[in-house]
A and B are shown apart, each in its own frame.
Chain A
Amino acid sequence: MLLNQLTRAIVQGITGKVGQAQTYWMLKAGTPLVAGVTPGRGGQSIEGLPVYDTVAEAVACHEANASVIFVPAAYARDAAFEAIQAGLQLIVIVTEHIPVRDTLEIKTRAQLTGSMVIGPNCPGIFIPSAGKLGIMPESVFRKGSIGVVGRSATLSYEVIANLSDAGLGQSAGIGIGGDPVVCTEFAEVLGMFENDEGTAAVVLVGEIGGSAEERAAGVISHMSKPVVALIAGKAASPGKRFGHAGAIIRAGGGSAGKKIEMLHRAGAAIADSPSEIPILLKERLADVQAVL
């Protein structure tokens, strides 16, 4: 699932304050990082990793095939283009505040080449015992078989902490990002979890705004594995923007009620709060056991 023994990842923006600090934590979590890239800083070394000026050099020297991007918003589009151009298969963009038109261009280009881009404005991916690309805190995770996919970083952490607290470990945590346009959507991640042998059930952490949850419902209705969903923003009033650019209800869609209805109709169990998720999951998993 996304990270495995073949992964050889680089850190774009490794010499920045956040990039450097997160490189330390990613290495500590056992992530297979091979190099860093910051234009103009080639030849340096960060946390024991060699730094290159370009992604192409890092690929040439280390056969890198994945990247996590921490570069500032103003340069993020170019950094993503560079990673796509270099043929990297998996690119996680942590950077927030990227203009939506830039994200659309990144998404369009990635779809042409087949690179998988996760984000932007996302905490990335965490696979217990395989490592992480991004900023998810290792401390909330326990190894297990629940796949978690969410838009909001900190709400996903709370959900994962609740699962761990209830003895339900995770196969993976994937944060797809809080912006109105993200490059990989719920629907694609749900498909990955459905095909992943290590995943027994899935938790979807959604929120108001956009239509990604509605599209996810289309996938859930064909899934064999149980899905529990939480939608944040039931109390939010239309037109107000709650920090995430994506978390805004525009006229004509994106409300919590509509999303909940579609997910429910597709067969997902709907949780009212993060702590209800483990209870619903245990019920659903018991049902699956009973059938087998």
Chain B
Amino acid sequence: MIVPEDAAKRLLAGCGLIVPRSQMVERVEAAAAITQDFGGRSVVKALVPTGGRGKAGAVKVCRSVDQARQAATALLGKEVLGHRVDKLLVEELIPISNELYAGVVVNTATDSIDLVLSLTGGVEIEVAAHSDRQVVHQLSIEPGDLLPLHRVNSWLGRHKIELSEYPLLAGTLLNLYRAAADLDAILLEINPLAMDTDGRLVALDAKLEVDDNALPRHPELNELFMASLSSRELRARQLGVSYVPLDGNIAVIASGAGLGMATLDLLQQRDLAPANFLDTGGGISEQMVKGALELVLEPAPVRGAIINLYGGINRMLEAAKGISAALENKPENRPIVVKILGNQQEEAWAMLEPIPNVHVIRVVQTETAVDRLKMILDPG
């Protein structure tokens, strides 16, 4: 999950990093009032879960209460990088002398945890990273390593990083690395990490992505996570499935991500576009499949559905009962092509074949199922 900036900063403050004072607001007047509290200066930021806000004009430096009011008016309700702005983060304006970039990333290409530092922080870091590798320094740490301070020090020394507050930087990087470990972060990025005029290193921004698989050991994040889900995603989660909304008009259910992606590929080869993709994973039950089918058929553009299940462990009669129950509740006139194979396949086919608009495919080739759907929807 991507942790919203205000929550990420609260968590980082708890790990010994310095963050600006801030307040989340939803109204223009509240932004003005907080700016007044901060001495008439503030930074007003759109609270949306994405990078590149600075460039998109969604971070506004305000040097008066009036400017804060204007900034809040301009941002609230607006669309920023695909996200509607409902909340703003108003922060104290920190006078800075230097901007750095610091991050910790789980590097799945090298199987290491990488600490990344650049002395050129700010909005242009991505550009700099691609054009000139010299400015980005990387320390690869073996998974499970606690990372001793002396290693950070010698790394900084090796790169001849000249910064007067050298020990301060080493300590901050260590805190950052340990915060990422404690929070099970896949990515923790501070850009900019600013040296203020009082000689402190302050995290002016924070991008934190926590491993979804680690959420069970972070109960403190549970409420935030639930709030980040759409109502369909929430229902999918309650069913124990994963749901991905897409732009087309064919509903897709598959038992497994790979089988699902292969199904999407075959749809695309036949000019059919998926409206969504639901992965049942293991543990198929009647209730799950019933809920899953109701969920994928819900979006208005859906013209038809394909259900592609393989029952290695799962009893496929359960799946057939689920499909049958969903359609008994709410009969469909849209075609539903079902390919079910494996454990109890014959019983499943026998149950599904009499249902109107359900088309059962009895072969192992998914193409056959996709071709059937294509023939029904776009004959000729």
CB of A137 within 8 Å of the partner chain: yes
Question: Which residues on B sit within 8 Å (CB–CB) of A236?
Answer: 261, 264
CB of A73 within 8 Å of the partner chain: yes
> Could you tell me if A156 and B144 are in contact, using CB atoms closer than 8 angstroms?
no
> Could you tell me if B261 and A181 are in contact, using CB atoms closer than 8 angstroms?
no
> Could you tell me if B364 and A158 are in contact, using CB atoms closer than 8 angstroms?
yes
Distance between Cα atoms of A272 and B213 in the complex (Å) = 32
- Chain A: residues with Cβ within 8 Å of the partner, total of 60
Give B278's nearest chain A residue, CB to CB.
A243
> Could you tell me if A104 and B111 are in contact, using CB atoms closer than 8 angstroms?
yes
Distance between Cα atoms of A10 and B2 in the complex (Å) = 39
B340 to chain A, nearest CB (A): 12
Give A161's nearest chain B residue, CB to CB.
B364
Interface members, chain A 244-261 (any B CB < 8 Å): 244-245, 247
Known: A100-B211, A137-B342, A156-B258. A74 touches B108 (CB 8 A): no
> Could you tell me if B365 and A275 are in contact, using CB atoms closer than 8 angstroms?
yes
Stretch at the interface among B36-44, B266-274, B327-335: B266-274
Which of A100, A161, A241 has most chain B Cβ within 10 Å?
A100
B201 to chain A, nearest CB (A): 25
CB of B205 within 8 Å of the partner chain: no
> Could you tell me if A243 and B255 are in contact, using CB atoms closer than 8 angstroms?
no
CB of B16 within 8 Å of the partner chain: no
CB of A220 within 8 Å of the partner chain: no
Known: A100-B106, A240-B244. A162 touches B365 (CB 8 A): yes
> Could you tell me if B312 and A180 are in contact, using CB atoms closer than 8 angstroms?
no
Interface members, chain B 168-194 (any A CB < 8 Å): 181, 184, 186
Known: A74-B216, A99-B211. A161 touches B258 (CB 8 A): no
> Could you tell me if B111 and A232 are in contact, using CB atoms closer than 8 angstroms?
no
- Contacting B281 at CB < 8 Å: which of A243, A272, A274? A243
Question: Which residues on B sit within 8 Å (CB–CB) of A188?
Answer: none
Distance between Cα atoms of A242 and B181 in the complex (Å) = 26
CB of B277 within 8 Å of the partner chain: yes
- Contacting B256 at CB < 8 Å: which of A208, A234, A243? A243
CB of B259 within 8 Å of the partner chain: yes
CB of B96 within 8 Å of the partner chain: no
> Could you tell me if B256 and A153 are in contact, using CB atoms closer than 8 angstroms?
yes
The 0/1 profile, CB within 8 Å of A marked 1, for residues 285-305 of chain B is 000000000000000000000
- Contacting A154 at CB < 8 Å: which of B181, B259, B269? B259
CB of B227 within 8 Å of the partner chain: no
> Could you tell me if A101 and B310 are in contact, using CB atoms closer than 8 angstroms?
no
CB of B367 within 8 Å of the partner chain: yes
The 0/1 profile, CB within 8 Å of B marked 1, for residues 15-28 of chain A is 00010011001000
Give A206's nearest chain B residue, CB to CB.
B258
> Could you tell me if B279 and A100 are in contact, using CB atoms closer than 8 angstroms?
no
How many pairs of residues, A versus B, come closer than 8 Å at their CB atoms?
166
- Contacting A100 at CB < 8 Å: which of B213, B254, B343, B365? B213
Question: Which residues on A sit within 8 Å (CB–CB) of B260?
Answer: 242-243
B191 to chain A, nearest CB (A): 16
Known: A154-B255, A233-B261, A273-B366. A161 touches B341 (CB 8 A): yes
CB of A85 within 8 Å of the partner chain: no
CB of A222 within 8 Å of the partner chain: no
Distance between Cα atoms of A5 and B108 in the complex (Å) = 36
> Could you tell me if B265 and A233 are in contact, using CB atoms closer than 8 angstroms?
yes
> Could you tell me if B313 and A96 are in contact, using CB atoms closer than 8 angstroms?
no
> Could you tell me if A18 and B367 are in contact, using CB atoms closer than 8 angstroms?
no
B263 to chain A, nearest CB (A): 9
- Contacting A153 at CB < 8 Å: which of B258, B262, B341, B365? B258
Known: A96-B281, A154-B255, A242-B260. A181 touches B265 (CB 8 A): no
Give B272's nearest chain A residue, CB to CB.
A235
CB of B149 within 8 Å of the partner chain: no
Known: A108-B144, A234-B268. A137 touches B343 (CB 8 A): yes
Known: A243-B256, A275-B367. A108 touches B111 (CB 8 A): yes
CB of B94 within 8 Å of the partner chain: no
> Could you tell me if A157 and B244 are in contact, using CB atoms closer than 8 angstroms?
no
B146 to chain A, nearest CB (A): 12
- Contacting A245 at CB < 8 Å: which of B213, B259, B365, B366? B213
Distance between Cα atoms of A269 and B256 in the complex (Å) = 25
A80 to chain B, nearest CB (A): 13
Distance between Cα atoms of A137 and B312 in the complex (Å) = 5
> Could you tell me if B258 and A273 are in contact, using CB atoms closer than 8 angstroms?
no
> Could you tell me if A178 and B111 are in contact, using CB atoms closer than 8 angstroms?
no
> Could you tell me if B313 and A154 are in contact, using CB atoms closer than 8 angstroms?
no
Give A164's nearest chain B residue, CB to CB.
B364
CB of B57 within 8 Å of the partner chain: no
Known: A101-B143, A243-B281. A155 touches B216 (CB 8 A): no
Give A276's nearest chain B residue, CB to CB.
B367
A and B contact pairs by CB, cutoff 8 A, 16 listed: A99-B184, A99-B217, A108-B142, A108-B143, A139-B342, A153-B312, A154-B310, A158-B262, A233-B265, A234-B268, A242-B257, A243-B242, A243-B256, A243-B277, A245-B212, A273-B367
Interface residues of B (CB under 8 A from A): 106, 108-109, 111-113, 142-144, 181, 184, 186, 211-214, 216-217, 242, 244, 246, 254-262, 264-269, 274, 277, 279, 281-282, 310-313, 341-343, 364-367
Please give me the 4 A-B residue pairs with the lowest Cβ-Cβ distance, nearest first: A152-B258, A154-B256, A155-B258, A243-B257
Interface residues of A (CB under 8 A from B): 18, 21-22, 25, 73-74, 96-101, 104-105, 107-109, 123, 135-137, 139, 150-158, 161-162, 165, 178, 180-181, 205, 207-208, 210-211, 230, 232-237, 240-245, 247, 272-275
Beyond known contacts A109-B144, A247-B257: 4 more, CB 8 A cutoff: A137-B312, A139-B342, A154-B258, A272-B265
